[in-house]
């Protein structure tokens, strides 16, 4: 019953903009279900003091043209860094989005100054939370594909990561 409702909402909003959407769209999470996220197995990418892990892109539903990507960045160095921007040949627009709850609605906003990664700390972009927004996808993202993104960090510079596309990130049992 719940998965069916979620599918309906996703289908209705698949082409919608992303300033304000119900919690069940976009991240596929209800906000309290992070523990059921199933990450593809990936090798850590190390660049300078940064280690990038738990990275993946969400498969689109049907012919949807928006999706999201997630990753974790750990800064083992003694200097702060930040994730400034992301590009992908797969999409016409890639942006860094914040997510916050407003009642039952999830508000998305653009992190214009990027996401800070203080020395000794980690940045986690996960379903239901802050994320990398992929908009204007040139083709639907399909489970099993790999999409290369280039992350630009203020201090470390550009880092290429091959994101596995997966449909296992949904947390609603789909």
Is residue 95 a contact partner of residue 18, using CB atoms and an 8 Å limit?
A: no
> Is residue 52 involved in binding Cu ion (CB under 5 A)?
no
- Among 133, 137, 159, 163, indicate the residue that binds Cu ion (CB under 5 A): 133
CB of 23 to Cu ion, least distance (A): 12
- Ranges of beta strands (E only) in 38-170 are 45-47, 50-58, 66-75, 81-88, 91-102, 105-110, 115-117, 122-125, 131-137, 146-153, 157-166
Please tell me whether residue 3 adopts helix, strand or coil conformation. Answer: helix
Phi and psi, residue 6, nearest 5°: -65, -40
CB of 44 to Cu ion, least distance (A): 25
CB of 97 to Cu ion, least distance (A): 3
Give the residue with the Cβ less far from Cu ion, 126 or 156.
126
Q: Which token pair is 25?
A: 């769209």
- Among 14, 18, 73, 86, indicate the residue that binds Cu ion (CB under 5 A): 18
Length of the chain: 174
Q: Which residue's structure tokens are 């700390």?
A: 121
| Interface region with Cu ion, contact rule CB under 5 A, candidates 5-13, 116-124, 127-135, 161-169 | 127-135
| Interface region with Cu ion, contact rule CB under 5 A, candidates 5-13, 80-88, 106-114, 161-169 | 106-114
The footprint of Cu ion on this chain (CB under 5 A) covers a number of residues equal to: 4
Cross-strand partners of 71: 125
Q: Tell me which residues touch Cu ion (CB under 5 A).
A: 18, 97, 108, 133
């Amino acid at each position: 019953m719940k998965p069916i409702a979620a599918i309906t909402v996703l289908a209705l909003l698949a082409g919608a903009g992303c300033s304000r959407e119900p919690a069940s769209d976009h991240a596929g999470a209800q906000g309290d279900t992070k523990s059921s996220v199933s990450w593809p197995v990936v090798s850590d990418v190390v660049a300078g003091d940064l280690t990038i892990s738990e990275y993946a892109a969400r498969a689109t539903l049907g012919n949807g043209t928006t999706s999201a990507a997630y990753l974790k960045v750990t800064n083992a160095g003694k200097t702060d860094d930040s994730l400034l921007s992301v590009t992908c040949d797969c999409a016409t627009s890639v942006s860094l989005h914040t997510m916050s709850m407003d009642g039952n609605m999830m508000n998305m906003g653009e992190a214009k100054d990027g996401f800070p990664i203080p020395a000794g700390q980690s940045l986690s972009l996960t379903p239901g939370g802050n994320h990398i927004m992929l908009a204007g996808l040139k083709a639907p993202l399909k489970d099993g594909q790999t999409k290369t993104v280039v992350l630009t960090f203020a201090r470390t510079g550009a880092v290429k990561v091959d994101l596995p596309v997966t449909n296992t990130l949904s947390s609603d049992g789909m």
